[in-house]
Amino acid sequence: MELRVLQYFLAVAREQNITAAAESLHLSQPTLSTQLKAMEEELGKQLLVRGTKGSRKVTLTEEGMILRKRAEEILSLVKRTEEEISHSDDTIMGDVYIGAGETDIVRFFARAAKEIQKKYPDIHFHISSGNAEYVLEYLDKGLIDFGLLFGRVDLQKYESIPLPVKDVWGVLMPKDSPLADKEFICPEDLWDKPLIVSHQEGDDQYLAHWLQRELSDLNVVATYNLVFNASLLVDEGLGYALCLDKLINTKESSLCFRPFSPRLEASACIVWKKYQMFSKAADVFLKKLQELF
């Protein structure tokens, strides 16, 4: 399978029309159709459902959707590889790719990046946000250089640097909530409340231990993986969100944050794949992080 044909396929997936895709690629429609048909024959699967005579719209089959995702990843890796190899030996430039959950600890990445930019203005940084499953998937596929993770790390697969700062768990709630009058929130304060909790792997056991109750025994009305969305649910009065501090600006909003008591902290670390060959840009970033921590 040629990279060129993968680009053709993605153009069709984007345009949902073979004629429009052919125009964007500066190809004739019969040429593009022939290439796509040959790809389907090579894979032994139908990738596209052509419209009837009255409709020129093209849709992807289930196998076509799988190929679209993989093709995007493959072409992204090819682009990164070409950029890394093409840079001259005496020039440090390029891109650093980071995956992270929502946490105030990202500020440390920003500080490292700011210092690096002063010396190497041609190094650029790209941050993708997602939960732990997202970060690990992208690490394993080589789509990011570093991940920021909470909890345990598989030391057989990854190298890591533990961070000296910790995030604090607590409750996000409306300022007019009865619990807002409290300085700290205790487990029993939440046993009869509608709760909005993280569905990130591991968080349920972590929170259940602090709550002294199984989540299945509590009134969990919703789950989230992005705190901003959880804050909207809270703002609409759906319930109390259990989350990390400093992720939602509560100074000029109708919401407030109260920490747990006993205090519950989340430890994070920076992770990368074992035996990974870094680009010069990624290597500079790692050394700066090690210097900071």
Give per-residue pLDDT as tens, 19-49: 888 888 888 999 999 999 999 999 999 999 9
CB 158 within 8 A of CB 139: yes
Structure-token match 């569905």, residue found: 199
Kindly state the tokens that stand for 270: 């920076």
- Closest by CA position to 104, among listed 8, 243, 217: 243
Q: In three state form, how does the secondary structure of 171-201 look?
A: EEEECCCHHHHCCCECHHHHCCCCEEEECCC
The tens digit of pLDDT for each residue in 221-243 reads 999 988 999 999 999 999 999 99
Structure tokens at 101: 């959950």
CB of 195 closer than 8 Å to CB of 240: yes
Alpha-carbon distance values, 55 to 15, 52, 64, 65 (Å): 14, 5, 19, 21
User: Whose CA is closest to 187, among 214, 161, 167?
Assistant: 214
The H-assigned helical ranges of the chain are 3-15, 18-25, 29-43, 62-86, 106-119, 132-140, 187-190, 203-211, 227-235, 280-292
How high does pLDDT run on average in the chain? 89
Average pLDDT score over residue span 261-275: 91
| Statement: residue 54 has pLDDT above 60 | no
- Would the pLDDT of 88 be above 60? no
What separation, in Å, do the N-terminal and C-terminal C-alpha atoms of the chain show?
45
The pLDDT, as a whole number, for residue 14 is 84
Inform me whether the pLDDT recorded for 274 exceeds 90: no
At 133-147, the pLDDT tens digits run 889 989 988 889 999
User: In this predicted structure, what is the pLDDT of residue 25?
Assistant: 85
Condensed to tens digits (0 to 9), the pLDDT of residues 249-258 reads: 898 899 999 9
Per-residue confidence at 98, pLDDT binned at 50, 70, 90? Answer: very high
- Whole-number pLDDT of residue 95: 93
DSSP conformational letter for 21: H
Q: 87 pLDDT exceeds 90?
A: no
pLDDT(55) > 70: no
CA–CA dist 99, 144 (Å, integer): 6
